[in-house]
A and B are shown apart, each in its own frame.
Chain A
Amino acid sequence: MKTLSVFVLALLFAGCMQIPKDAFVVTPELLKQREIETRRYDGISEEDLLIASSNALQDLGFNLDNSETKLGVLTASKQRDATNRGEIAVLVLFALLGGQTSGAISKDQTIRVSLVVRPVLDSNGKPMEKSEFVRVTFQRIVRRMDNSTYSETLLNEKLFEDFFERISKSVFIEAQKI
């Protein structure tokens, strides 16, 4: 019954919430995020870079959902456990102190990634031979114990550094054909 109320309430809010005014405006923060999400790779063709990227995604346990190699697009996802000890510890402590626990512990999550390869343009706006940008974006949808969900776009800079390192390694392995 409680779950139903939560669900109906969520629907009620979802229906009445207004779309943000700047939903389709590129803000300076978004441009900064673009830098974090993009890396340039030289000396590799778009096709080889896409293959290396899809291998790197597989290394990380992602399953490929969709691809359009002619546009340099790959999308992939994975489902994983989302329980974390910190959250549980806080709740246990809260319960021990006599508080009513809400059951709002993260249970599992779907992580989605889209990876887009596009050629670097020279000063005349022409695509350069064997110079490519890779831009990657991540989202996750977390389901809690009470089946409510929350979703977010991942913006952590370290995550992107680690990810691009994987791609670099994968590119190296491709180049060496090991």
Chain B
Amino acid sequence: MNRTFPAILIFSSVLSGCVNTINQRVLDIGDETQLQKRSYQSRIFDTGDKERVLRATISTLQDLGFVIDRADLVLGSVSGTKLQGHQIKITVSVRPKGDDRMLVRANAQFNVTPVEDPVQYQNFFTSLEKSLFLSAHAGE
């Protein structure tokens, strides 16, 4: 009994495909193409002010209950973690696209799985739009 229970658990978890720790998931190629992923994870804002977009991103993440892990103006990146029984980690990068536009890209993970639902990203960008008083365009 004392050995079979964990063995069954491990076996069932492998079968169900929920636990991927046994696989190496470094490159993590799913069903989506790189381009598809980029398109729902990115938006373009009509401003050339990188600092403004980054500060709005930080405010938005705080509004959503994230604790900021790190931020870097030169790199244009912000990372945050939300802990509420579960864990959500997000990294947002902001980089200039021409002189007067900014490309914002986000990628998130929920516990041990990547967030791949475009609706979640749409919600994030809607929250960011409100904080920036600018509307986002799809692009790239």
**Contact check: which of A1, A17, A66 meets B86 at CB < 8 Å?**
A17
Question: Shortest Cβ distance from A4 into chain B, in angstroms?
Answer: 5
Do residues A12 and B18 form an inter-chain contact, with CB atoms below 8 A? yes
Q: Name which residue of chain B comes closest to A150, CB basis.
A: B85
CA distance A139 to B69 in the complex (A): 11
Do residues A24 and B120 form an inter-chain contact, with CB atoms below 8 A? yes
Do residues A114 and B6 form an inter-chain contact, with CB atoms below 8 A? no
CA distance A167 to B16 in the complex (A): 50
Question: Across the interface, which residues of B come within 8 angstroms of A73, CB to CB?
Answer: 58, 68, 70-71
CA distance A31 to B9 in the complex (A): 41
CA distance A34 to B78 in the complex (A): 19
Query: Given that A8-B9, A15-B20 are contacting pairs, would A34 and B67 also be in contact in the complex, using a CB cutoff of 8 Å?
Result: no
Do residues B6 and A8 form an inter-chain contact, with CB atoms below 8 A? yes
**Contact check: which of A1, A114, A135 meets B69 at CB < 8 Å?**
A114
Query: Given that A19-B120, A23-B120, A150-B85 are contacting pairs, would A116 and B19 also be in contact in the complex, using a CB cutoff of 8 Å?
Result: no
Q: Name which residue of chain B comes closest to A74, CB basis.
A: B68
Query: Given that A113-B67, A125-B133 are contacting pairs, would A15 and B111 also be in contact in the complex, using a CB cutoff of 8 Å?
Result: yes
What's the tally of chain B residues with a CB closer than 8 Å to chain A? 55
Q: Is B59 interfacial (CB-CB < 8 Å)?
A: yes
CA distance A106 to B3 in the complex (A): 27
What's the tally of chain A residues with a CB closer than 8 Å to chain B? 46
Question: Across the interface, which residues of B come within 8 angstroms of A113, CB to CB?
Answer: 67
Q: Name which residue of chain A comes closest to B54, CB basis.
A: A71
Q: Which of A8-24 contact B (CB under 8 A)?
A: 8-9, 11-12, 14-17, 19-20, 22-24
Question: Shortest Cβ distance from A102 into chain B, in angstroms?
Answer: 17
Do residues A153 and B111 form an inter-chain contact, with CB atoms below 8 A? no
Q: Mark B65-85, 1 if CB is under 8 A from A, else 0.
A: 111111111000010111111
Do residues A12 and B110 form an inter-chain contact, with CB atoms below 8 A? no
Question: Across the interface, which residues of A come within 8 angstroms of B138, CB to CB?
Answer: none
CA distance A73 to B71 in the complex (A): 7
Q: Is A41 interfacial (CB-CB < 8 Å)?
A: no
Query: Given that A8-B10, A26-B127, A73-B71 are contacting pairs, would A135 and B62 also be in contact in the complex, using a CB cutoff of 8 Å?
Result: yes
Do residues B85 and A11 form an inter-chain contact, with CB atoms below 8 A? no
Question: Across the interface, which residues of B come within 8 angstroms of A72, CB to CB?
Answer: 55
Do residues B58 and A116 form an inter-chain contact, with CB atoms below 8 A? yes
Do residues B69 and A66 form an inter-chain contact, with CB atoms below 8 A? yes
Residues of A within 8 A of B (CB): 1, 4-5, 8-9, 11-12, 14-17, 19-20, 22-26, 30-31, 33-34, 37, 65-66, 68, 70-73, 75, 112-114, 116, 118, 125, 135, 137-139, 141, 150-153
The 11 listed contacts between A and B (C-beta, < 8 Å) are A9-B9, A11-B13, A15-B20, A16-B16, A24-B127, A68-B70, A75-B70, A114-B80, A137-B65, A152-B83, A152-B85
